[in-house]
């Protein structure tokens, strides 16, 4: 096992309501076994922090185990259990002037779901789920109130592009997008505090600040062992990946390689949940979700695909096992670095999905 690497995901909400929740744990397990690196299962219990109690987290891990994820004696990161460390790290960053207290104009709705610095940057996409645009103004989709401006002291993270580590991401088509985002936000600030209660409160210079939960995502790499990391996140989370990458860079942690997964939309003519649970075969379940990853065309969401279900259903359990094992045993000896090894593994998921011969996968 490569002792200088860890594979994990951005901390996930401990839910059991959607089968897609299993995609990242399946990938963590596959990458760990294929590339011989340590797996870490990361959980975000701060989101809806009043609801994500011990039972919720316990049910989540039971859901993983029941569906074939091997977490026995594996490292688990639950953000709530690191509250003291998170607060300490924020204070250290404040003392190093990486974080500042600044008076800013903040745009906020009545319920607090929207709490941002800049309307121009944050409200340019009319399709985001938090708000809608009406007559040139932003309205919250939860309380339906207009977002209004107020001036107050907030915590900000200063962005300095020159401090960044080299961006490494699979698929590599995202590298240029990643770097363009960095250039856009160079010498600007991210607001990392919120007006509402978040479950993380830090006192700086006699004032209490509620820390944005997304900022705890940015810190979690520093609360794991200081090793090289493969971090799995959704392709809709590139901006959050950027923030994680930036904080990792300024805190001088070892480098990150991101794996960007795709998102599947509901097909009204296909019940993906029923199909997933129809066959009691762990390899079927793993292949079902792995094959639904759109690695070649990664810019758009895709529908759950009945043809994948039909293909896997036709195979015997031994054939499915052989397919999964062929992917797991991907030959990466000729890869020069871990990013290339990860790219090879992803390529072989595609080869298997496209019904190519197992011999080709093993070459």
Which residues are 201's β-sheet partners?
210
Q: In the chain, where are the structural domains located? A: 1-99+164-261, 270-363
- Over 50: is that where the pLDDT of 283 sits? yes
| Whole-number pLDDT of residue 299 | 56
How much is the average pLDDT of 79-108? 92
Which residues are 108's β-sheet partners?
115, 148
Over the chain, what is the mean pLDDT?
A: 87
Let me know how long the chain is.
363
How much is the average pLDDT of 73-85? 89
More confident position, 23 or 118: 23
The span from the CA of 12 to the CA of 45, in Å, is 8
Phi, then psi, of 236 in degrees rounded to 5: -90, 0
How much is the average pLDDT of 212-219? 86
Q: Determine if residue 270 is left, alpha or beta; phi over 0 gives left, psi from -120 to 50 gives alpha, anything else beta.
A: beta
The span from the CA of 276 to the CA of 289, in Å, is 9
Identify which of 40, 38, 43 has the alpha carbon closest to the alpha carbon of residue 11. Answer: 43
β-pairing, 256-261 vs 228-234, is parallel
Residues 6+ apart with CB under 8 A from 265: 301, 302, 303, 304
**Percent of the chain, pLDDT > 70?**
90
The CB-based long-range contact list for 292-299 (8 Å cut-off, 24+ gap) reads 292/23, 292/262, 292/264, 293/23, 293/261, 293/262, 293/346, 293/349, 294/262, 295/171, 295/262, 295/346, 295/347, 295/349, 295/350, 296/171, 296/350, 298/171, 298/173, 298/174, 298/235, 298/260, 298/262, 299/235
CATH architecture observed for domain 1-99+164-261: 3-Layer(aba) Sandwich (3.40)
The span from the CA of 6 to the CA of 39, in Å, is 6
pLDDT tens digits, residue range 305-350?
Answer: 899 999 999 999 999 999 999 899 988 888 889 999 999 998 888 7
User: Do 108 and 118 contact (CB within 8 A), yes or no?
Assistant: no
Of 2-16, 104-118, 208-222, 322-336, least confident by mean pLDDT is 104-118
| Count of CA atoms in the C-beta half-sphere (13 A) of 202 | 27
The span from the CA of 304 to the CA of 82, in Å, is 36
Confidence of residue 119 (pLDDT cuts 50, 70, 90): low
How much is the average pLDDT of 218-230? 92
């Amino acid at each position: 096992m490569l002792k200088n690497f860890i594979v994990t995901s951005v901390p996930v909400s401990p839910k059991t309501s959607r089968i897609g929740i299993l995609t990242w744990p399946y990938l963590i397990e596959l990458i760990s076994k294929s590339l011989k690196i340590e797996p870490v299962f990361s959980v975000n219990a701060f989101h809806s922090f009043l609801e994500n109690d011990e039972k919720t987290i316990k049910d989540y891990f039971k859901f993983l185990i029941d569906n074939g994820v091997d977490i026995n004696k594996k490292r688990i990161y639950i953000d709530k259990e690191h509250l003291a460390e998170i607060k300490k790290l924020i204070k250290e960053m404040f003392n190093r002037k990486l974080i500042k207290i600044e008076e800013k104009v903040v745009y906020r709705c009545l319920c607090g779901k929207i709490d941002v610095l800049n309307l121009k940057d944050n409200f340019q996409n009319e399709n985001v789920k938090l708000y809608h645009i009406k007559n040139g103004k932003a309205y919250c989709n939860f309380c339906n109130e207009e977002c209004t401006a107020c001036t107050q002291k907030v915590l900000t993270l200063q962005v300095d592009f020159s401090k960044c580590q080299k961006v490494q991401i699979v698929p590599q088509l995202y590298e240029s997008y990643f770097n363009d985002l960095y250039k856009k936000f160079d010498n600007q600030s991210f607001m990392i505090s919120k007006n509402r209660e978040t479950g993380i409160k830090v006192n700086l210079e006699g004032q209490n600040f509620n820390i944005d939960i997304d900022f705890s995502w940015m810190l979690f790499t520093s609360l794991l062992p200081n090793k090289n990391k493969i971090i799995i996140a959704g392709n809709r989370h590139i901006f959050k990946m950027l923030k994680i990458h930036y904080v990792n860079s300024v805190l001088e942690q070892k480098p990150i390689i991101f794996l960007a997964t795709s998102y599947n939309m509901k097909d009204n003519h296909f019940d993906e949940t029923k199909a997933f649970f129809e066959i009691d075969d762990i390899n079927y379940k793993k292949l079902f979700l792995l094959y639904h990853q759109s690695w070649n065309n990664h810019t758009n969401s895709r529908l759950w695909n009945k043809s994948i279900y039909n293909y896997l259903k036709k195979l015997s359990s031994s054939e499915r096992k052989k397919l999964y094992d062929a992917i797991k045993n991907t030959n990466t000896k000729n890869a020069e670095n871990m990013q290339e090894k990860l790219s090879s593994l992803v390529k072989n998921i595609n080869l298997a999905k496209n019904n190519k011969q197992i011999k080709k996968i093993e070459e």
